[in-house]
Amino acid sequence: MQLNAGLVATARLAASGLALWGLSQPGLAGDRALIDYVGFSPDFRYFAFEEFGIQDGSGFAYSNLYVVDLASDSWVVGTPVRRQAESEETSLAQVREAVADRASSHIESFSISVPVEIAALIGDGVPDTDARSLGFGAPGYLPGAVSGDYTLELDTFETTATSPCAEWFGVEPLGYELLLSDSGTTRLIHRDGGLPRSRGCPTDYRLHSVVMPFQGTTLSNAVAIISVYPGGFEGPDRRFLAVPLGL
């Protein structure tokens, strides 16, 4: 569930003839969105999070707030709530505040009030990991107490996309597959078909975290957060996908 906030910048890139931006060049850098977990609804059906940052190319602040229906694995009507500054004079804090104000009716309608517990996290500063595997369990009350022993495995493959990725970036778009292992059994959580326009032209995916609602820390309520890297104006950007694990 992710909307590529850099599609406009992507179109500008294609028009400028810079399609072969070369992922390996150290001088190029996209924007790396951060994430804020807003919370769950009391029945644990709805989950909200915000991605935000400074857009590459323009240097303008942006924020996107998503409310996800975990039962149907879809955005609720009217979301995501998005805002992008029109100049560098508008701060990131101002943009985030504006999105929070606009999204307040959705947050209230779905009673998003339950705090988030982070069951597992691969921080952006963790070295020497491709973030393709992440072990986790449900947090307990005592130090080190964990219920369950699960492992997420992430894989990627070339697929088709609505956007003309080869024309814009000279590479085929990637989809992802997510598997969950538990006590010797493995379950397919998600496998992409053709990608929606909202995904843009992904060049990579990484496992970011697993979150659960406070006092509802079971696998049936768990949500995997995946970093996705669609092409942007100056290089691959980072956005987020929320994937329910309890379906």
Mean pLDDT of 235-241: 93
Buried b (16+ CB within 10 A) or exposed e, 216-241: bbebebbbbbbbbbbbbbbbbbbbbb
Mean pLDDT of 206-229: 97
pLDDT in tens, 110-138: 999 999 999 999 999 999 999 999 999 99
| Residue 8, pLDDT above cutoff 50 | no
Of the ranges 80-84, 219-223, 229-233, which one carries the lowest mean pLDDT score? 229-233
Q: Which residue has the higher pLDDT, 16 or 184?
A: 184
Domain membership flag for residue 20: yes
pLDDT the model gives residue 27: 43
pLDDT the model gives residue 141: 85
Domain membership flag for residue 2: no
Domain membership flag for residue 1: no
Give the largest Cα separation in the chain, rounded.
57
Domain containing 95 equals: 7-244
Domain membership flag for residue 79: yes
| Residue 7, pLDDT above cutoff 60 | no
Domains in the chain: how many in total? 1
Strands (E), the chain: 34-40, 46-54, 61-69, 74-75, 81-84, 116-121, 133-139, 146-158, 174-182, 185-191, 202-213, 223-230, 239-244
Query: Residue 210 region, left (φ>0) first, then alpha (ψ -120 to 50), else beta?
Result: beta
pLDDT the model gives residue 247: 67
Q: Which residue has the higher pLDDT, 230 or 26?
A: 230
Domain membership flag for residue 148: yes
| Residue 1, pLDDT above cutoff 80 | no
pTM, full prediction? 0.86
Mean pLDDT of 186-205: 95
pLDDT in tens, 29-76: 569 999 999 999 999 999 999 999 999 888 999 999 999 999 999 999
Mean pLDDT of 140-156: 93
pLDDT the model gives residue 57: 83
Cis bond before residue 143 (omega within 30° of 0): no
Mean pLDDT of 186-195: 96
